[in-house]
Structure 1
């Protein structure tokens, strides 16, 4: 936990917070917090700053906070992903949040098993939990938005063209594709397929929506590996 993420409900006065949950136990057992010690803190969707321990007991910790810094800049990215299998989805949500993704679209694909859509991880509270872990790791406060689209064709035909318009629009595809372009901090739309990649029909539909196929070389990567590799190649992180 590189950032103690705070919520408005934690404040008991304008500059004083009291924590009693997972964050309190982590600070006491892992950081072994002491009165007077300072920690990096940030308010969800707000500023970052410093929190100094002012009180500590067996039940709670209180921090005197000063918030005076902006969080890290988000990536100018629409990230579109075929829904990964549940175990991989957890890690991918955390990784995306850590790397600064703020707009994530989880879509259907021919190779996405129907059972994936019933995973409890897609419930709003569970998705939020993994995104928050990613923010804590990165020292960020801006919560990503996650959009679920269970039908591939309506999304690609009706929504994707508008998302991709006036952006560097790309689909990661290992076959018949151009090399990954050089990093730049420009608005980007990036689609990443499921294990085994998008099928030919899906690639064609994505290209019709304005996306160009790119590859990372001869190696075929898992989704959880492809996400950080692609983002580190496309943006000056």
Structure 2
């Protein structure tokens, strides 16, 4: 935890923040162990960052006086179109996306996505937010990626994708007859990454009809949880 995040609703009119939930309070009590008078780095989710003065701290709760003085790091001009990964990967990928600064994520169905994946607890709205917050805490910033779900591939690609990816460079990770991955772009981008085993030829064709260009990350076959940060890092020169 490189920043202590809180929602706007948690902050009192006088700027005080009372922490007593088990996850954050446990980290404060067992890892940070602040004394009264110390200052902690804090941030309001989707808002500014700053510092908080520790007014009181016990093993059960912590009272802080918050002062927000700095704008948070802006998210990347990058949207991720991601075929729903295996549940064990979902948590790590969401955290990675938030850490790296992805602005929006659409979780997409695909022929190689098992139906059971859509039933995983990791796709519950609050669980998604919880994992994104963990990623933000690692990065030390506050902007939550917007997450959408598209359980039907064809209707989303044909009817909604053009608007969602409008005014961006559109790329799909698909190594067959593909160009090398572009690097260090500053332009808005939409990145599509398929499931384990990749998008089907039909799915790639449908994406290409919407303006997507295929690219390759090299001769090695990567897991989705590896391909996502590698592609983001190359595209955005992180």
Q: TM class, shorter-chain normalised?
A: over 0.9
C-alpha distance in 2 between matches for 1:170 and 1:8: 36
Task: Tell me, yes or no, if the aligned pair for 1:92 and 1:224 is still in contact at 8 Å.
Answer: yes
Q: CA deviation at 1:164?
A: 3.1
| Contact persistence 2:183–2:237 (CA under 8 A) | no
Number of matched pairs: 237
Normalising by structure 2, report the TM-score: 0.96
Q: Is 1:9 equivalent to 2:9 in the alignment?
A: yes
For residue 26 of structure 1, report the CA deviation from its aligned partner. 0.6
Q: What is the DSSP-based 3-state SS (H/G/I as helix, E as strand, rest coil) of the residue aligned with 1:30?
A: helix
- Contact 1:50/1:67, CA 8 A, preserved across alignment: yes
Q: Report the equivalent of 1:123.
A: 124
**For residue 35 of structure 1, what is the aligned residue in structure 2?**
36
* Cα distance per residue 1:67-119 (max 9 Å; x no partner): 01111110111210000010100100100011111210000001000110111
Query: Is 1:164–1:210's contact at 8 Å kept on the other side of the alignment?
Result: no
Match of 1:109 in 2: 110
Using the TM superposition, name which of 116-125 and 1-10 deviates more. Answer: 1-10
Deviation at 1:54, TM superposition (A): 1.3
Q: Is the 8 A contact 2:18 2:62 kept in 1?
A: yes
- Segment of structure 1 superposing worse, 138-147 or 187-196: 138-147
Query: Contact conserved, 2:74 with 2:143, CA < 8 A, in 1?
Result: no
1:168-201 deviation line (CA, Å, top 9, x unaligned): 1100112110000121121001100000111111
Q: Distance in 1 between matches of 2:234 and 2:12?
A: 44
1:12 and 1:210 map into 2 onto residues whose CA distance is 48
Long gaps (5+) in structure 2: none
Aligned to 1:163: 164
Provide the C-alpha distance between the structure 2 equivalents of 1:121 and 1:215, rounded to a whole number of angstroms.
Answer: 29
CA RMSD of aligned residues (A): 1.1
Contact kept? 1:177, 1:215, Cα under 8 Å: yes
CA contact (8 A) 1:97 1:131 kept: yes
Deviates more, 1:23-32 or 1:91-100: 23-32
Indicate the residue corresponding to 2:145 in structure 1: 144
Question: What are the ranges of 5 or more consecutive residues in structure 1 without an aligned counterpart?
Answer: none
Distance 2:173 2:14 in 1: 47
Which ranges of 4 or more aligned residues in structure 1 deviate by more than 6 Å? none
Cα deviation for residue 13 of structure 1 reads 4.1
8 A Cα contact 2:29 2:58, kept in partner? no
Match of 2:61 in 1: 60
Alpha-carbon distance change, 202 to 4 in structure 1, aligned in 2, over 3 angstroms: same
Over residues 110-165 of structure 1, what are the superposed CA-to-partner deviations in whole Å (9 max), with x where a residue is unaligned?
Answer: 10001101111111111111111111111111111111011111111111122333
Q: 2:49 — aligned with what?
A: 48
1:225 corresponds in structure 2 to 226
| Aligned counterpart, 2:18 | 18
How far apart in 2 are the matches of 1:71 and 1:59?
29
Partner of 1:94: 95
